[in-house]
Structure 1
Amino acid sequence: MKAHIVLFCSLFCMLSKGQVQEEVTVKRTLKLMGTRFEITVIAPNEDIGYLDIDEAVSEIKRIEKMISSWDEASETSLINKNAGVKPVKVSLELFRLIERCKKISEITDGAFDITYASMDKIWKFDGTMKKLPAKIYVQRSVENIGYEKIVLDTLEQTVYLKDTGMRIGFGAIGKGFAADKAKELMVSNQVKAGVINASGDLTTWGTKTSGEKWLIGIANPLSKDKVFSWLPIVESSVATSGNYEKFVMLNGERYSHIIDPRTGYPTKGINSVSVFAKNAELCDALATAVFIMGKDSGIHLINQIDGVEVVVVDSDNKVQKSSGIIFDKKQ
């Protein structure tokens, strides 16, 4: 679950007699892609700010229309409908996204995999599940998963899923991708600065009206209203995955809602992962991957990727981090 990133955007307005108001901070919160988006922009005035936000919202809705597996008319749904049947020609934008997804799957050894959508939903986290699923059902649930079974034809610009029961879904990367695209549009429209927060998948550009960096607060998984560290970011993104709200207790053991697509079983050992990088899309995907890989393997991977950092809170609520992270314990 992507959540619990605290964003502090201060509003500094220069108002005095005979002076025109200078830059203002304009913010709007709304539901998009089935989750909470908070869009903040720095603008010459409120009217322009709200127009800028409207354009960002339109861009996010456009992305949702393309990648939604719930919308039967989307390109993604068309790919899924033709699994095991025939290749589907798609837009270059979606083709490139799927290409990038496959590359992330390769470097994470399948911990991130958009074919996870093929998994049978045998784990329930709504309070109705009273016992562990039988091993045979868990094994069957992952039979159609495998990023290597996504066939991409660059010349024809087609996507083909080899097995009839296969499906792809962008739940672990879609909000980050949408945030990046909205930011890209805002920057091209000369919007000086802002933040797009997709329920924890967050990207920024520019600075606050005061010239200060945007401050990101990393929340304590066991006390979500408390921040254990502040991290200033500029022209950067962050995504957080956590297991503290959605889980099931069985036989005295806690099972996270984040399922390893390679095994069909919930992950263990981590409470939350926050990944920092230039793009929200990459942060989104790697946050999920590190959660599934585990703290040691996950941090080792991140330390090998230039421009990417991670903060991991393990199941004992101890903080682990990659080599480039420096905490500012600001109260």
Structure 2
Amino acid sequence: MVERSSVAGNREVFTHSPLLGTVVAVTVERADARLARKVDSLVVAEIDRLEAMLSRHRHDSALERWKRDELTGDDMPHEFAGLLIRARWWATRTNGALDPRAGALTELWRRSAAAGHVPADREVDAARRLLAQPGYEITDDGEVRRVGDCTDLDLHAFGKGWIVDRALRAAQATAPNAAIVVSAGGDIARAGPGDTVIAIDDPFRPYDNAAPVDRVILGRGGLATSGSARRSVEIDGHRFSHIIDPRTGQPAHGAASVSVIADSAEAADAWATALALAGPDEIVPTADAAGVAVMAVLADHSTLANVRWRARRVGESGRVT
């Protein structure tokens, strides 16, 4: 939630729903009404274009064509190939917490939840064996080449942040002096002069009028929130996170929500997902090593944050504490 901005001048806010499966808000300051509308149009057009490329629901999307082995060589969009390379990089960077093959596990838990039971160990083991097969490889000259089944390819651990970054970049080219915030659900990217106060929702009180659990300053960069409190599923009277750890095959069981500030929305999205899989004692050290700011709301409703996050925190007076 974007609460307010320190930038003086006209402020235009545009909202779009559904877009990227959520509500997208575009905030523009230091621009006249005509330029603000143009910025908004560019953001929406870029999101539409990239969403169509990555859609799981369009037969002709690059993602679905890749899964069917219909994209090779010059037929593959450069951006999609780059995203596959980024997916492999994030898997290494997060020590396997983000795995582009994790869709097999996510689908297994989705089917099991619909059937009303927890997946059997043998089913989890079988899905994890699929993850051990690379699916695709990256050659020494940077070419992406399929080497196996890519049916369960899943790029959503950081894909929304990646799209938001590019939408913001497209708008910046037209309005380099404007302050622009693109917010898509829990993924936010900001650029331009000044800064913006971002309210972090309480995962245990998902109401529009509920007090936020924290407020932080965002200048340039990205902020993302991930967690299990709002999107958990119930199986046989027990609640499970929708985030599945590819290293264990089991749902996340750490924090109720994790918020991350990083240099980009992509990085914030990726680390918020990875840290949602970490134990409470691992969250701050891992974030510190990654060089990102983190705040987590734990299952007992307590919170923890590292020094980078606390340096951006806003007190009740409205000043950074």
Match in the other structure for 1:270: 255
Match in the other structure for 1:26: 12
Match in the other structure for 1:142: 128
Equivalent position amino acid for 1:190 in 2: A
CA distance in 2, matches of 1:109, 1:77: 27
CA distance in 1, matches of 2:2, 2:289: 28
Alpha-carbon spacing, 1:215–1:288, altered in 2? closer, same or farther (3 Å): same
Alpha-carbon contact 2:113-2:234 (below 8 Å) kept = no
Match in the other structure for 2:165: 180
TM-score normalized by structure 1? 0.84
Match in the other structure for 2:214: 229
| Gap runs ≥5 in structure 2 | none
Match in the other structure for 2:297: 313
The SS at the match of 2:224 is strand
Q: Tell me how far 1:141 sits from its aligned partner.
A: 2.8
CA distance in 2, matches of 1:189, 1:52: 7
Equivalent position amino acid for 2:92 in 1: E
Equivalent position amino acid for 1:143 in 2: R
CA distance in 2, matches of 1:8, 1:27: 12
CA distance in 2, matches of 1:69, 1:153: 26
Taking the TM superposition and a 5 Å limit, the aligned residue runs for 1:43-54 are: 43-54=30-41
Percent of aligned pairs sharing the same letter:
25
Alpha-carbon spacing, 1:119–1:249, altered in 2? closer, same or farther (3 Å): closer
Alpha-carbon contact 1:259-1:266 (below 8 Å) kept = yes
CA distance in 2, matches of 1:236, 1:317: 28
Match in the other structure for 1:216: 198
Single out whichever of 264-273 and 23-32 deviates more from structure 2.
23-32
CA shift digits 1:108-165 (9 cap, x unpaired): 12111122223362324997453322222222233322484430135373331x3336
Alpha-carbon contact 2:7-2:30 (below 8 Å) kept = no
CA distance in 2, matches of 1:147, 1:42: 48
The SS at the match of 1:296 is helix
Equivalent position amino acid for 1:169 in 2: D
More helix by share: 2
The aligned length equals 309
CA distance in 2, matches of 1:237, 1:120: 26
Taking the TM superposition and a 5 Å limit, the aligned residue runs for 1:27-176 are: 27-30=13-16, 31-82=18-69, 89=74, 90-119=76-105, 121-124=107-110, 128-146=114-132, 148-153=134-139, 155=141, 157-160=143-146, 162-164=147-149, 166-176=151-161
Q: Does 1 or 2 have the higher relative contact order (CA < 8 Å, sep 6+)?
A: 1
Equivalent position amino acid for 1:8 in 2: E
Q: Which residue of 172, 196, 206 maps to 2:182?
A: 196
Equivalent position amino acid for 2:265 in 1: A
Q: Which residue of 232, 244, 268 maps to 2:229?
A: 244
| Gap runs ≥5 in structure 1 | 1-5, 14-22
Alpha-carbon spacing, 1:146–1:62, altered in 2? closer, same or farther (3 Å): farther
Alpha-carbon contact 2:254-2:277 (below 8 Å) kept = no
Equivalent position amino acid for 1:202 in 2: I
Alpha-carbon contact 1:176-1:283 (below 8 Å) kept = yes
Equivalent position amino acid for 2:190 in 1: T
